[in-house]
Amino acid sequence: ASREEDPLPPVRMRLAGPLRIVVFMLVLALLWIVGSLVTGQGSPFNRLHLMLSGPQDLPTAESRPRRYKCGLPTPCPEKHFAFRIVSGAANVIGPKFCMDDQVLMSSVKNNVGRGLNIALVNGVTGELMNTKFFDMWAGDSGINELLKFLRPVYEGTLVFVASYDDPATKMNNEAKRLFSELGSKAVQTLSFRDSWVFVGAKGIDNKSPFEQHVRNNKNTNKYEGWPEAVEIEGCIPHKVL
């Protein structure tokens, strides 16, 4: 009698191909999960969920907080300038001035430096008139140039000021008087390596509402030898002629 062939080997051969594919896919999935965790790209399961989610589950522009000019959380009223000023941080990060979504001064624009950084803006049109920084630490040229810069400022000009590193070592009584006439109160007590931001105007009736000052204090400084950076933001009404 002839010997019947064993039917099992062909079955095993038919199963081997799909099984290899399943194992291969599992190995790839495991490598992807481990790679995501090692590279710090967040939970791979969350990413997989986002890929598999419908459009209704994805974050939309409406669900994110809306930001307005210069990053303000709320819009300014009509006929107001939106602004934000951030002082320098220690002697490492320079200050930044923004008005109506236009960067006036920053490290990226390469127009900031150690000492006092000042931008003059037309209070009627919002046009940038001038920007300059004044070294308030070394020599007398910084304070002399500062006085020449501030003396001709006329009524209706907005004056934006931010410190970087040291704003006060060369400060004298005339400079303090000029800043006081622009509405500053903190300038009278400004000291070595303080952080200071201020917006004033020639002919202001009383103290400017836009001023922040943090003293250099070794017990409270955020950085070694310097206090934290300070910032102000808000809305300035257009000057009416």
- Concatenated DSSP letters for 14-28? HHHHHHHHHHHHHHH
* 128 pLDDT higher than 80: yes
DSSP, collapsed to helix, strand or coil, labels residue 168 as coil
71 vs 24, higher pLDDT: 71
Q: Which tens digits make up the pLDDT trace of 42-66? A: 455 544 443 444 444 445 555 566 7
CA distance 87 to 23: 58
* 12 pLDDT higher than 80: no
152, 132 contact by CB (below 8 A) = no
Task: Quote the mean pLDDT of the chain.
Answer: 84
Q: Which tens digits make up the pLDDT trace of 132-149? A: 999 999 889 999 999 999
* 2 pLDDT higher than 50: no
- Please list, in sequence order, all residues whose beta carbon lies within 8 angstroms of the beta carbon of residue 121, skipping any fewer than 6 positions away: 81, 99, 104, 127, 128, 129, 157, 158, 159, 160
Residue 10: Cβ within 10 Å count = 10
Percent helix / strand / coil, the chain, rounded to 5:
30, 25, 45
Which of 49-53, 87-91, 177-181, 212-216 shows the lowest per-residue confidence on average (mean pLDDT)? 49-53
Closest CA to 214 of 82, 90, 71: 90
Average pLDDT over residues 14-42: 64
Closest CA to 110 of 133, 140, 144, 90: 133
Average pLDDT over residues 144-156: 96
Q: Which tens digits make up the pLDDT trace of 157-167? A: 999 999 999 99
At 3, the pLDDT band (50, 70, 90 cuts) reads very low
Report the share of the chain in percent with pLDDT over 90.
67
